[in-house]
Amino acid sequence: MNISEFGINKALEILGVKKNNLGSSTGSTFFSSGKNIDSFSPVDGKLIASVSSTTNEDYEKIIKTASGAFIQWRSRTAPERGELVRQFGNKLREFKEPLGKLVSYEMGKSYQEGLGEVQEMIDICDFAVGLSRQLHGLTMHSERPGHRMYEQYHSLGIVGIISAFNFPVAVWAWNTALAWVCGDVCVWKPSEKTPLCGIACQNIIASVLKENNIPEGVSCLVNGDFKVGEFMSKDTRVPLISATGSTRMGKIVASEVAGRLGKSLLELGGNNAIIVSPDSDIKMTVMGSVFGAVGTAGQRCTSTRRLIIHETIYNEVKSALVEAYKQLKIGNPLDESNHVGPLIDTQAVVSYNKALTEVVKEGGKIIVEGGVLSGDGYESGCYVKPAIAEAEANFNIVQHETFAPVLYLLKYTGSVENAINIQNDVKQGLSSSIMTNNLREAELFLSVNGSDCGIANVNIGTSGAEIGGAFGGEKDTGGGRESGSDAWKVYMRRQTNTINYTTDLPLAQGIKFDL
């Protein structure tokens, strides 16, 4: 593939991403010490650029700079901080096309999805600007006469952000836009599989910081493998760690942070299901299921993994899905005529092949054949065919999340309660959906006796989330909430205040001192 045809070199130039980039940053200053991390594109297998990893000495410099910046940043009013975020959102509008192309080329998602991810960044900036004038507390009536009691929220400090490769820029923005208006400063470790997206974002925000004379350290970048994440997780100077990734990774982070009594916000694995009721709209079901299963090549945390279909319409839905999969085009994600791009790397291909082997071993049946594509246009070895398998809910492979376009069809009988039980009978609890025109089924699905996931939808798929709603899940998904609603509260510390405006001092439990 000739990348110049799609403007990748120009995009890298605009974003300030060079062949040999400096790896760590305290804002506008980049510096380098550690060994190189090579970023290869899953699109064509070519080396894009190299980034230096963060050493322990680099990390110490960054944390000290961030700590100093926090003292100044927290003293600015929330609307002032919101103004910085507003300007950052405008910069993202300016750089939307090149950043979207870099996301597509470095991660492998379609160009339209890359643009959509940058749009999510813009949207969360808009949300955060409004939030900067709404960081509210509560006033309560005191039981003591002549007293006023209320609660307020204060800036927390340094927020450590560990993000995953599948959303290499949006998840950082979800966290950092809110953290900034809350008065926090951020230290971000992007995935070592997509470090250049982190460099590009830091370049964009650095220009905004410089234009506003904001001190270095409000936005910091570290690069490297899990060891850099360990620096952050163990550091008592970082009161909050927001980590996105696998459940295995999240448990390690949670244990380290809890051991020092810090706070963690975890967005971990998903094993998302759509229940297909006899009262569903089949066309909508197929559309939502296909997009959910093959979008981002099945590498979204909200990707559809399981389709739980009532026996009376099972064959109809299965046939429609098989026909829909025949229309999928797999190839270069920068070519907008393609529906499915590559997996992130060959290690992901191994997991994909293992899942297809395991489901057959356990007694399942492949109804849409998978396989790894090779030849012209597929030189990276990361392109695979989206596959569908008939399976049973209790299969071990069905119980686990495979980050690839593999969809399991499960059959249910009887009432929708049986389908809900199947859906809930996995360790993960991120996103869920039901396709039905039956009001009773829809309301039951959303009730306390329904889906146990953090996200529950009716007549839309499992993937995708609006900025205004809190995003996150339960059980092995970690329990964290990001983005909208009142997710901002995790980035602040709560304080209860009582003011006595009398000349008396009543003591608790009626205790009296004769002084």
Q: Which residues are catalytic?
A: 267, 301
Angle at 104 between CA 101 and CA 106, to 5 degrees: 105
Any idea of the CA torsion for 405, 406, 407, 410, to the nearest 10 degrees? -170
- The CA distance from 123 to 490, in Å, is 20
Give how far Cα 236 sits from Cα of 55, 175, 231, 299, Å: 18, 19, 10, 33
Q: Which string of b and e fits 62-88 if b means at least 16 CB within 10 Å?
A: bbebbeebbeebbeeebeebbbbbbbb
In 3D, which of 2, 382, 11, 404 has the Cα closest to residue 196?
A: 11
Tokens of 30: 């980049």
Sequence-ordered list of residues with C-beta below 8 angstroms from that of 85, at least 6 positions apart, any chain? 125, 128, 129, 132, 177, 180, 181
Report whether 243 contacts 265 (CB < 8 A): yes
Q: Exposure string (b/e) for 106-138, b if CB count within 10 Å is 16 or more?
A: bbbbbbebbbebbbbbbbbbebbbebbeebeee
Dig out the tokens for 435 from the structure: 């396709």
Residue whose pair of structure tokens reads 């506008």 in the numeric block: 28
DSSP 3-state assignment of 36?
Answer: strand
Kindly provide the residue ranges of all beta strands, DSSP E only, lying in 282-405, ordered along the sequence: 304-310, 365-368, 387-390
**Which DSSP category does 84 fall into?**
H
Buried b (16+ CB within 10 A) or exposed e, 319-332: ebbeebbeeeebbb
Task: Taking each helix axis as running N to C, give the angle between helix 111-131 and helix 78-94, from 0 to 180 degrees, rounded to the nearest 10.
Answer: 160
Strand partners, 366: 389
Instruction: Give the C-alpha distances (Å, rounded to integers) separating 95 from 104, 188, 189, 205.
Output: 14, 20, 21, 11
Please enumerate in sequence order all residues whose Cβ is within 8 A of that of 493, keeping only pairs 6 or more positions apart, or say none: 153, 154, 155, 156, 239
Alpha helix ranges (H) inside 344-487: 346-361, 396-399, 416-424, 439-446
Question: How many distinct helices (H) and strands (E) make up the chain?
Answer: 15, 24
